[in-house]
Structure 1
Amino acid sequence: MNLRFGGITVLHDVGFEVEPGQIFGLVGPNGAGKTSLFNCISGHYKPSSGSITIDGVEVLGSAPATLARHGLARTFQHPALQLHATVLENVLLGAHGRLPGGPLEWSMRLPRTVRSERALRIEALELLERNGLGWAAKVRADELSHGLHKGVELCRALLMRPKLLLLDEPAAGLPHAEVEQLIETVRRIREDDITVVVVEHHMGLIAALTDRVVVLDHGRTLMEGTAAEAQSDPRVIEAYIGKDAADDAA
């Protein structure tokens, strides 16, 4: 896949394959192109060329709503919540694609719409309970910490019932105890037959979670392998801490 903005190449021939049920990591230093790649996969950017397939279906250039119907959901580095809405209301936003009918039917409050809303509300509350946020269901989002915002956004993504979940720096800004809790949460998500791709700087989390990783540097694939192989690869060390520091460490 390639992504260009004007004369600037942001991604150059980046490609990888994620097997169903894997937890796959995208790592690299700042400016490596990780979030740009996520934005291409999730339909927020349109690649200049290449291919993106989900279960063998070409989805390159598809809108986020279309990708959701293919089972893709994502979180963002900076959670995009409705701050004056409650936690439960924010989570329920993830279910709009699961309501039957369309806007006209929803506005008429037909019986099947009401039944679906009731079932989705119960499911959202169960997700919050399972992820330690049941107590916050009726709390406004602006009363919660940044770390809890990430948990709310994750519940919203899970309410979409994704087959493929993209997590963009889920550990950013979290204290150690919450990172450990996040690791357990992502492992539990995999047990629900959800494939996970995670962008993260926190190498401890990457090492604890992932089956394989791709390392990006300046928009190119630097290497692919296990997290342990990445951590010991001289090219990766150089990309993260600089050539002089890498030479000193050697």
Structure 2
Amino acid sequence: MGARLALQNVSLHFGGVTVLQEVGFTAEPGSILGLVGPNGAGKTSLFNCISGHYRPSAGSITIDGTEVSGDRPATLARRGLARTFQHPALQLNETVLENVLLGAHSRLPGGPVSWSLRLPRTTRSEKELRAEAAALLERHGLAWASRMPAGELSHGLHKGIELCRALLTGPSLLLLDEPAAGLPHSEVEQLIETVRRVQSDDITVVVVEHNMGLISALTDRVVVLDHGRKLMEGTAAEAQADQRVIEAYLGKDLADDAA
């Protein structure tokens, strides 16, 4: 079986500024890959290239062997890619269930026209997706909140809602952008369990995260970026022991002092 996600020599330039330079790695089906690095390393820019928000200046991005570089987010959603963001964008006056259902747009038959006309096949699909959304909330411990307005819930629960919304698209590849940001330790532990359940469904997960405890607990491998380049690739333990990584995070002088 080939790689679920493969990047080769991906570069990104804005004017004369190089943001990413010849970044490459693969993520296998059902694996969890961590993407880490100091602030400004290019992690979010790389996520934006993978998810269609930026068009790479050069290089190749494939999902299950299909070239997707430059595809729009909606096209990538139909190819099985879903993404969460550091700051979830929810409809705070809508219920939790309705927010999750917003993830179903790419699966509705006939597109927006059929949906607006309430054609019979669209109505049937809506019922099926509503049941699937409820099942996702049940599986991830949020069924109790399904009828509550999202605005009444905590930041941590907003992240859980956004994750369920992403999963309702039926992804084979899930990008998580700093899922632990702002969460207390107890909720980070719950997040780890949630992502492991996602992995058990043979979904490939790529996670950008500063919480190295979460990265160590979850990932099979990590890719470390620094100044837009891939610094190293290996296990989380290998990354934390790598002198180049220590210097990237601390600066060479502080790293030498710590040594």
TM-score in terms of structure 1 length: 0.98
Alignment of 1:22-33 (within 5 A): 22-33=31-42
State the partner residue of 1:241.
250
Counterpart residue type for residue 227 of structure 2: H
Alignment of 1:196-215 (within 5 A): 196-215=205-224
CA distance in 2, matches of 1:212, 1:102: 38
- Partner SS state of residue 16, structure 1: strand
CA shift, 1:181, in A, is: 0.7
CA shift, 1:104, in A, is: 2.3
- Identify the match of residue 69 of structure 1 among 78, 84, 107: 78
CA distance in 1, matches of 2:78, 2:113: 20
CA distance in 1, matches of 2:20, 2:132: 39
- Structure 1's consecutive aligned runs of 4 or more residues displaced over 2 angstroms after TM superposition are none
1:35 maps to 2:48: no
CA distance in 2, matches of 1:159, 1:105: 20
Coordinate RMSD, CA, aligned: 0.8
State the partner residue of 2:154.
145
CA shift, 1:119, in A, is: 0.8
State the partner residue of 1:51.
60
**For structure 1, which runs of at least 5 residues remain unmatched after alignment?**
none
After TM superposition, the structure 1 stretch with the greater mean CA deviation from structure 2, 78-87 or 208-217, is: 78-87
State the partner residue of 2:145.
136
1:227 maps to 2:240: no
Alignment of 1:175-186 (within 5 A): 175-186=184-195
Counterpart residue type for residue 216 of structure 1: L
1:100 maps to 2:81: no
State the partner residue of 2:21.
12
CA distance in 1, matches of 2:92, 2:130: 19
- Identify the match of residue 179 of structure 2 among 140, 154, 170: 170
CA distance in 1, matches of 2:13, 2:149: 40
Question: Percent same amino acid at aligned positions?
Answer: 80
CA distance in 1, matches of 2:78, 2:126: 19
**For structure 2, which runs of at least 5 residues remain unmatched after alignment?**
1-9
CA distance in 1, matches of 2:25, 2:114: 42
Residue-pair matches, total: 250
- Identify the match of residue 87 of structure 1 among 87, 91, 96: 96
- Partner SS state of residue 147, structure 1: helix
